[in-house]
Chain A
Amino acid sequence: MRYLALPLLSQNLTESTARAQTLSLYLQLSLQVSLSQRNESTMSSSSSSLPSCPKKVVTLKSSEGETFEIEEIAALQSKTLENMIDENCADTPIPLPNIKGKILAKVVEYCNKHAEVGVDAESLRAWDAEFVNVENTTVFDYILAANFLEIPTLLDLTCQSVADMIKGKTPAEIEKTFNIKSAFTPEEEEQVRRENQWAFE
């Protein structure tokens, strides 16, 4: 609490001087009051991370209707979500009808992890390696989710994982993995194989 230094009122003040002094006193007092009011309001909002509004959380809805919450900062890693958040004034859950709940939960986990501050590169790499250390079918689901949500880091991570998995396979194994119909005639396939025989040895 600050104390105002009150000027001594001497008895021989003229009326105008007394009036001027009273006015100055009044102004100083009201200034003090409004200052202390401002201090109170600043102190109450300094506990939140953003200066003017509380932490924002976005709700995502999976194909089965399950909802997942994710902090806006983490969600901004997805270009798709960034666009939807910009347009989404009403804060309703964002529907993602082509992503299953099981996958969406993991994608949220990925975004949260990658939005954390102070994680060193080495341990993040190790975390990423564990993240893609799952069944192939799950990695494929991650790719589709990362592609739709436009999360470049997750797309790179999952594509690299698939690339490493397929690089040693034969063409027949690839066709089986992706259920691809070759469309080559046997003669055409034989010709391509013969031209590139050295890569099969």
Chain B
Amino acid sequence: MKLHQSNSAAEIIASNEDLVSEILLLVPAKSLVRFKCVSKGWLSIISGPHFSRRHARLHASSRVSGVFLRRTPSEHQFLPLGADSRSGCPFKCLDFVPDPAGLKILQSCNGLLLCCSFRKIGCQRNYYVFNPTTRQFVMLPHLGGASSCATTVYGVSLALDPSKSSHYDVVCVRSTVESAYFYQIEIYSSRDRDWRLSGSPFVAPFDMVFDNGVFWNGVVHWISPTGASLCFDVKKERFRTMPRLPISENQGSRRFRYFGESRGHMHFFEIYGSRTAQFKIFELEKDYSGWFVKYHVELDSMVSAFPEMVRDYMDPGYMNYYAFVMLHLVREGSNEESSLLVHLPGKILTFNVGDKTFRKLYEIPADQSKGYGSLQYGWLDAYEFIETLAPV
């Protein structure tokens, strides 16, 4: 095998697709998106399904790059997290596909977004799985075939765990033909590209809500306002139980409740009382043995620094005397990198749960403000953005 003197080692490597793949597998997703412009060969490698699956699994524990805030159902504000605050916004409008009814995000799951079109009379709702990093998307086939017109969909959840597999499932809880009291689960698998019924019809607590399911540890979790819960193990296709939510009975009326997942951790917390700026954040043990207190949060210093958090024109006993809302708890490898996004009138702050400092993340433009002291985002309006090449 004679070396041509004119070819440098770099050129030889560049002409060897296997070697290029080995190198590119170790490059972060965002850089690879840029490198699609390098050459047709590189575009082909980076967009190839085999490569993207391998890359998604290798980079399964990528950091949360930012959070999408839902301003209006189809317009989002992107808040970059971390040191790289110049980070470009992957999209402003959900316009990856021209659905006439408009689209909204239902859930963010390890880098992929589950979206759906709005209800429009005469049309069936469309569900999409969208990867904002690669801008790939797929429209899910409609549910249930013949009975689809009579089906009510109560909730749809995306289940993707790139550390285990680059294939995902979508779990749908819908009504049954037989009875109004029974629900049925139908699962879409990205491997088979179709829906199939799973298990037999089941009953649920009367007030159970099936939108905003939280996917964690291979299981989709739903909770009801009264604290009941239902958990569905996606791989095993059966229900399991979760320890009782750490709801305190005697703390007065509840002002706020958060139930969410970030980077492999499941969190729950509630804020009671009109003037509380202190609360405990609970995390669920991976083996479901119980909830433990992960953080004690005290926001009193924040309240002093930002007087607009206090609606002093109101009666102190009024439930919303303190104007703040937790948007999302972002967990990273260490406590120092984990932060709570707090929304006050006109701003979004990030509160570092490790060193208990806070800084301003985003100033809401005056023209978007809904009036003095008002809050326009809630915890269901924030979606994590994690860069991934995971194929849809």
Contacts and interface: CB of A to CB of B under 8 A. Distances in A.
Given A63-B3, A159-B22, A175 B9 contact: no
Interface in B1-51: 1-3, 8-14, 16, 19, 22-28, 30-31, 33-43
A60 B36 CA distance: 40
Contact of B8 (A164, A179, A189): A179
A57 interface: no
Contacts of B12: 140, 144
A137 B37 contact: no
Nearest to B9: A140
A40 interface: no
B273 interface: no
Interface residues on B, range: 35 or more
Given A137-B10, A163-B27, A198 B88 contact: yes
Nearest to B12: A144
Contacts of A198: 88-91
Main secondary structure of the interface of A (DSSP, over half): helix
B13 to A, nearest CB: 6
B87 interface: yes
A177 B10 contact: yes
Interface residues on A, range: 35 or more
Contact of B27 (A155, A167, A196): A167
B55 to A, nearest CB: 11
Contacts of A162: 23
Nearest to A166: B27
Given A159-B19, A182-B38, A196-B135, 18 more contacts: A98-B3, A136-B10, A144-B12, A144-B13, A160-B26, A166-B23, A170-B34, A174-B35, A179-B14, A183-B39, A183-B41, A192-B36, A192-B43, A198-B89, A199-B31, A199-B34, A199-B88, A201-B89
Interface of B: 1-3, 8-14, 16, 19, 22-28, 30-31, 33-43, 86-91, 135
A120 B276 CA distance: 51
B33 A175 contact: no
A137 B8 contact: yes
B37 A180 contact: no
A137 B10 CA distance: 7
B31 A171 contact: no
A148 to B, nearest CB: 9
B13 A175 contact: no
A177 B10 CA distance: 7
Interface in A161-200: 162-164, 166-171, 174-175, 177-184, 189, 192-193, 195-200
A199 B38 contact: no
A143 interface: yes
